[in-house]
Amino acid sequence: MNNIIEEEVGDIKNIFKRFRRKDFSGTTGQVMKNSTYQLTTNLIAKFGSLIFTIVVARMLGVELFGLYTLALSTIILFASFSDLGISTAMITFASKALGENKPGKAKTYFKGLLKYKIYLVIICSLVLVVLGYFLANNYYNKPIFYALLAGAIYIPIVTLAGYVGSAFQAGNNFKIIMIKEIIFQILRFTLIPITILLLLKTNLEASVVIAIVILVITLAYFLGLLYLRIVAKKEISFLRKTAKGLTRNEKIELGKFVLPLSVMALSGMFFGYIDILMLGHYVDLIYIGYYGAAFGLIGAAGLIISSAAVAVLPVFARTQGRSLESLFSKTRNFTFVVGLVAALFTFFAAKYILMIYGKDFMQATIFLQLFSLILIIMPVAAIYNSYFVSIKKTKIIAKLLIISTVVNVILNIWFIGYGLQFGMMEGVLGACVATICSRVIYLAGFIISKRMN
């Protein structure tokens, strides 16, 4: 441990020296540049989301916030079907093509995968509309039907914005993504609080209130997508090139790459949301509000720490051999140290952190303390994920996700059911423990697979 920390301190000093000299040359310089923009974007996005969640939670109260959390989690669950690894495949193959100085080929990957993306988006939105009534009134037995209908509009806007943003990542242009995020956050902070204030003065049903909030969030995303669309042809040079057809071998390679990613997306869907799905069925909205508040804080912090994984993916994809292994080790070790410090701080300061939500959320303290472990697990797992994607070993990721997802489902059923024997609070604790255990198994699988690779 001491050796790792000493090595990372030396690397950090070297990075700061290069920043002072404005030296962004070579692979390390590209990673520094990407990481800086990505970190800035994540800080804006996650701190913005954190403050936004606090504002929404305080304005709506615990129960309405629980309803908002359940509705939005369900919508995001369906939205995950609209990707199935397409964005990751586009980043990886377009980056590879650009690294080989084949911009026409990069455009081919972008356009071809966009077509499938649109098909999936339409299907997901229609399925959500069809299943919305059953989920709201039979499974959850909570008033979120109108909110789920709003989700059918939310899904295409958000997922297409993410795909266009991925094209900027493939071209190593992280600056535009940062600007888009600034635009989105300004719009969200302007529109949503005003909307909630106006809605709370009416006698509208809770489900209608949440539906309108989701629609206004969708509007903010749409304006961000509009900005990306306007600047894309100017800033993404490979989109101005003539698309070139793929060879039979290239199509086969792409298919083999995407198929495991599709399985990963399906598994990841349940891996990330099975807890909310089950809690939505078993516990009252107030407990979903507690759980959402704690997990929202950890999710925001975890994604900030994981920013290096996103930033280095295009660079990983263009690096091989010892250079790749060295870059991977440095990034992983640095991420681990940052995650450890963040986890310790969160555990001991959990009670004070939750004060920002208001006294009604203080019962979520134990949930936040348990989830602090995720700040170590999640970012390191993200680095391993980017590594295996870059070397096109997506089957390994798919297998690990399937295994950990099955374990997650089993543990959630077991721990939530056991906890509910004592009360709803204990049932939510069971979901926390199940989530942490499954993520530990996921990371352990990566570590073992890397050593065997």
List pLDDT tens digits, range 127-166.
999 999 999 999 999 999 999 999 999 999 999 998 888 8
Mean pLDDT to the nearest integer, 194-212: 90
What band does 190 get if pLDDT is binned at 50, 70 and 90? very high
Over residues 263-290, the pLDDT tens digits come to 766 666 666 677 888 889 889 989 998 9
Q: Contact at 8 Å (CB) between 93 and 109?
A: yes
Q: What is the largest CA-CA distance in the chain?
A: 64
Kindly indicate the confidence band of residue 308, based on its pLDDT and cuts at 50, 70 and 90: low
pLDDT above 70 for 118: yes
CB of 318 within 8 A of CB of 99?
yes
Contact of 128 with 148, CB cutoff 8 Å = yes
Who wins on pLDDT, 121 or 50?
Answer: 121
- What does the pLDDT read at residue 57? 87
The phi, psi pair for 243, rounded to 5°, reads -65, 140
Q: Are the C-beta atoms of residues 304 and 46 closer than 8 Å to each other? A: yes
C-alpha pair distances (Å), 401 with each of 121, 131, 229, 295, 322: 23, 26, 33, 20, 27
Residue 279: both structure tokens together: 């809690």
The predicted pLDDT at position 146 comes to 94
Say how far apart CA 27 and CA 133 lie, in whole Å: 51
> What are the pLDDT digits (tens) for 71-109?
998 998 888 888 777 888 888 888 888 777 887 888 888
Cα–Cα distance for residue pair 420/201, rounded to 1 Å: 37
Rounded to the nearest integer, the mean pLDDT of the chain is 82
In whole angstroms, what is the distance from residue 129 CA to residue 124 CA?
Answer: 9
**List of residues 6+ apart from 448 with CB closer than 8 A:** none
Residue 1: predicted pLDDT: 43
Q: Let me know: does 67 contact 143? Beta carbons within 8 Å.
A: yes
Give 431-443 pLDDT, tens digit per residue: 999 999 999 999 9
**Residue range 396-424: average pLDDT?**
88
Measure the CA–CA gap between 154 and 214, rounded to whole angstroms. Answer: 7
pLDDT beyond 70 at 227:
yes
Q: Please tell me the predicted confidence (pLDDT) of residue 9.
A: 44
Are the C-beta atoms of 137 and 145 separated by less than 8 Å? yes
Which of 407, 384, 405, 398 has its CA nearest to residue 453?
A: 384
pLDDT of residue 319: 66
- Residue 68: HSE in the Cβ half-sphere, 13 Å Cα cutoff: 28
Residue 250: the pLDDT is 76
> Tokens 């410090």 identify what position?
341
Q: What percent of the chain has pLDDT over 70?
A: 85
| pLDDT of 192 strictly over 70 | yes
Token readout for 31 is 């990673």
Mean pLDDT for the stretch of residues 345-374: 89
What average pLDDT does the segment 426-434 reach? Answer: 93
Q: What is the pLDDT of residue 5?
A: 41
Phi, psi dihedrals of residue 219, rounded to the nearest 5°: -60, -40
Q: Which residues lie closer than 8 Å to 11 by C-beta, 6 or more apart? A: 330, 334
Residues 240/233, Cβ–Cβ less than 8 Å: yes
DSSP classification of residue 240: G
Angle subtended at Cα 385 by Cα 379 and Cα 391, rounded to the nearest 5 degrees = 145
Number of domains present in the structure of the chain: 1
Structural element, H or E, at residue 35? helix 26-79
What's the confidence (pLDDT) of residue 214?
95
Higher-confidence residue of 323 and 419: namely 419
Residue-range definition of the domain harbouring residue 136: 2-452
Model pTM above 0.85: no
Match 């079907």 to its residue by tokens. 81
Q: How many CA atoms lie within 13 A of 256 on its CB side?
A: 9
Give rounded-to-5 percent helix, strand, coil for the chain: 90, 0, 10
Q: What is the pLDDT of residue 8?
A: 44
Per mean pLDDT, which range of 19-23, 155-159, 363-367, 444-448 is the poorest? 19-23
Q: How confident is the model at residue 34 (pLDDT cuts 50, 70, 90)?
A: low
pLDDT at 309: 67
Of 96, 124, 125, 130, nearest to 110 (Cα)?
96
Directed axis angle between helix 394-420 and helix 248-282, to 10°? 10
Q: Please name which of 386, 383, 282 lies closest in space to residue 333, comparing C-alpha atoms.
A: 383
Residue 292 amino acid letter: G
Percent of the chain residues past pLDDT 90, beyond the cut: 32
Q: Is the pLDDT of residue 6 over 90?
A: no
Query: Contact at 8 Å (CB) between 262 and 84?
Result: yes
